[in-house]
Structure 1
Amino acid sequence: MIEASPKRGRKRSERRWWRHAVAVAALCATGMAEAQTSRTIRVAGEEWPPFLARSLPDDGLTGSQLRAVLDRLGYTASIDYYPWRRAMELGMHDPRYAGFMPVLRTPEREKFCHFSTTLGRTSYVLAYLRERPVRARSLADLRDTRIGTVSGYSYSADFDTMAATRALDVEEAVNDETNLRKLLFRRFPVIVIDSQVLRFLLAKDAFTQADRERIATSDGLFAERTMHLCFRRTTVGQVQQQAFDNAAREVDLNRLEKEYWRRIGVGG
């Protein structure tokens, strides 16, 4: 076996150090004085437990994954919470922010995002009342059914298109908890919601055991999708995304996800 010379080893080490230095410099170049001095990366997001929430350890599953990756680069995360549309607006256009999360990847969002590696997964289901069951083998079966959704959310390419063209009758709310309460009050017969979000919300003290027993779900209409951090679509944003993804390769995000679900008592 031919061993690499010490000189070649030093060059490889120097190249790795240089790539890391460039990555850290790029992450710092957000235009925020506070980020440059405190080594903090600022992102916008919406309360969406258990994926992102101030009340959860490390700001939820996605927040914990964000922190684990940034820690590899010697940075910490600062997450500011807003309603979803406001979070998107700030994350896309405000230079104080590196981006926003968690976001699902769509062709439309490709225009203003450099997407990070996967930070969790979402699986949408239909939720309805047991006393008023909703049967649907396809989205077309929902054409005459009023559906509760959240403003600004993407559910699937087909669903989003049908909702935008009014082929589906949707009523938008500010968040999933509002929709769940409307469903219990029979404001509409069905809502679309992530299965883990539904489970987490129903476990809260704000909902009774009777409420939980009234809710039923149906899956199969929506494929599992990945969630990401949307870095601003700028030159700096692209370098930030590349640095982030390089660091993410050194973190076992799948193991971290499984451990986080166990940590908060939610099945993953």
Structure 2
Amino acid sequence: MIRQGIAGLALALLVLGQTHATARAETFRLTSLDWPPYSGATLPDQGYSVKVAREAFAAMGHALEVEFYPWKRAVQTGLGEGYVGYFPEYHSDDLAAGACAFSDPAGSGPLGLVESTRAPLAWTTLDDLKGRHIGVVSGYVTTPGLAERARAGTLVLEAVTDDLTNIRKVAAGRIDAAEIDANVMTWLVDQNPELKGSVQMSPHLLDKKKLYVCFQKTETGSMARSIFNEGLKKITLPAVMAVQ
């Protein structure tokens, strides 16, 4: 009787342990955008940022599903029901005070200005861009120095829906430059051969921007954020995204 009781208890504990392990294995859902080479439905591993995020969750025994939308919809959807957030995002105080609980840095990218090869910019500081028309993408976090000067009226920011449109506007001479990640610019120009030779990155970078996941400020979002941050410590970032 005692042996049967012990055997029954052992079996119950085994089943309980298996059930608990299964309950802890979650599939988290994030949204993203087509922003090659960092994210995109058709990219290898769906892009560097998605690969990092998926590996971080996997290192902790969890899975990740990513859905891709235009940027504004990605943000809206990722902050809605059934998701835990969206990425990749630049840090901003406004977002941190609002909807975003930012992850630890999950990579970085070189942010600069794409310019025309026919009319390259001569600038060292942002004040040298006085009077220039600079393209930005609607909904992206704009470099504070550019935003401040636009509010002061010393330069003009023109917003479009995506980076490729900005590159084409620069190539056509419709704007003087556009804010863009250098890796994104290189990828888009490589994929659109008609742009080769007409645009280039300005040699001065605006910043080396860290990339984050914006997690929802919910109980599930907080849990996903903690798991993700722990997983980041267990993986190696791709060289192109190394945080400096």
TM-score of the pair, normalised by structure 1: 0.76
Q: Give a deviation string over 1:58-112, Cα, whole Å, max 9, x none.
A: 11000000111111233222211122122112222x1211100000111111122
Q: Determine if the alignment matches structure 1 residue 96 to structure 2 residue 108.
A: no
State the SS of the aligned residue for 2:65. Answer: strand
Partner Cα separation in structure 2 for residue 182 and residue 126 of structure 1: 13
Does the Cα contact within 8 Å between 1:122 and 1:225 map onto a contact in 2?
yes
Partner Cα separation in structure 2 for residue 116 and residue 260 of structure 1: 16
**Structure 2 counterpart of 1:258, one-letter code:** A
- What is the match of residue 176 of structure 1? 163
- What is the match of residue 73 of structure 2? 86
Change (3 A) 1:166 1:55: farther
- What is the match of residue 220 of structure 1? 204
Partner Cα separation in structure 1 for residue 241 and residue 43 of structure 2: 10
1:32-51 aligned within 5 A: 39-51=26-38
**Structure 2 counterpart of 1:99, one-letter code:** G
Larger radius of gyration: 2
Change (3 A) 1:130 1:83: same
Does the Cα contact within 8 Å between 2:28 and 2:224 map onto a contact in 1?
no
1:95-134 aligned within 5 A: 95-111=81-97, 112-134=99-121
State the SS of the aligned residue for 2:106. Answer: coil
Unaligned residue ranges in structure 2 (runs of 5+): 1-16
Counterpart pick for 1:151 among 138, 158, 164 = 138
Partner Cα separation in structure 2 for residue 247 and residue 86 of structure 1: 27
Partner Cα separation in structure 2 for residue 222 and residue 260 of structure 1: 17
**Structure 2 counterpart of 1:107, one-letter code:** D
State the SS of the aligned residue for 2:164. Answer: helix
**Identity among equivalent pairs (%):** 25
- What is the match of residue 216 of structure 2? 232
State the SS of the aligned residue for 1:203. Answer: helix
Change (3 A) 1:219 1:66: same
Change (3 A) 1:121 1:260: closer
Aligned length in residues = 222
Unaligned residue ranges in structure 1 (runs of 5+): 1-17, 29-38, 262-268
Change (3 A) 1:152 1:219: farther
Counterpart pick for 2:239 among 258, 261, 266 = 258
**Structure 2 counterpart of 1:238, one-letter code:** S
Counterpart pick for 2:61 among 65, 74, 86 = 74
Does the Cα contact within 8 Å between 2:112 and 2:207 map onto a contact in 1?
no
Q: Which runs of 4+ in 1 moved over 6 A?
A: none
Give the alignment's Cα RMSD to 1 decimal. Answer: 2.3
TM-score of the pair, normalised by structure 2: 0.83
**Structure 2 counterpart of 1:84, one-letter code:** W
